Amino acid sequence: MGWGTLVVVGVVLLSLMATAYALVVTGGLTIDTGWGRRVRPLGPMTRTIRAPRDMVFELIGVPYLDANPPRALREKVEVIERSEGMVLAAHRTRSGRFTTVTLETVTFDPPEEIRFHLVRGPVPHVKERFLLREADGGAATELVYEGELGTDGWALGAWWGNLVAGRWERAVEDALEDIKGASEAKSARQQD
């Protein structure tokens, strides 16, 4: 095999690896073999929100349950299918140079719990839940996020899982702060 052939093979292999990486990062390709599955926790994260639990639950549900959510939410969440108490939704999250698209079922148990189950994404397994508990005699809400993320491929998969989990948890932290801000602002407006 000559140098020219080796260079072509090398370029093709690098191109295939770059394409596979881009597909995995964006959620277009999920590697789900079950071999060497490693599961790690997500969270827990807790926020105390100065707003009633029903209001917080309602605001979390807007992108999923509202027939016409605000445009900014529609750009991040697209409901694919709706049924009683559950939706199938595509979530778009900016991740570096890429936009990751995950497909998740979202199940509602008002006003106490919202559960997410990954169907397709950059890892083969994610389960999450938001628990809403009344606090301060009902004037506030304790919002708790917890979950788990699993990857295949033994040590390499665990490395990938830790990388994805860091970005995943930062996205959840941003969402929790948005929920807290919107809920407290709405509660303050209603009290005026």
CATH number at residue 7: 3.30.530.20
Q: What's the start-to-end Cα distance of the chain, in Å?
A: 79
How many other C-beta atoms lie within 10 A of the C-beta of residue 155? 9
Beta bridge partners of 159: none
How much is the pLDDT for 16? 86
Q: Is this prediction's pTM over 0.95?
A: no
Q: How far is CA 61 from CA 19, 70, 121, 147, 171, in A?
A: 35, 12, 21, 18, 17
Identify the domain containing residue 24 by its residue range: 3-191
Give me the tens of pLDDT residue by residue for the chain, a chain 192 residues long: 788 888 877 788 888 888 888 888 899 999 899 999 999 999 999 999 999 999 999 999 999 999 899 999 999 999 999 999 999 999 999 878 889 999 999 999 999 999 999 999 999 999 999 999 999 999 999 999 999 999 999 999 999 999 999 999 999 999 999 999 999 999 999 987
Q: How many domains does the chain have?
A: 1
Distance of alpha carbon 28 from alpha carbon 20, whole angstroms: 9
Beta bridge partners of 141: 49, 134
What sections of the chain are H helices per DSSP?
3-26, 53-65, 71-76, 154-191
Beta carbons of 163 and 149 less than 8 angstroms apart: no
Nearest to 183 by CA among 130, 108, 125: 130
Nearest to 119 by CA among 99, 95, 102: 102
Please name the residue that has the structure tokens 């597909």: 23
How much is the pLDDT for 192? 77
How much is the pLDDT for 129? 98
Beta carbons of 144 and 48 less than 8 angstroms apart: no
Distance of alpha carbon 33 from alpha carbon 5, whole angstroms: 33
How much is the pLDDT for 174? 96
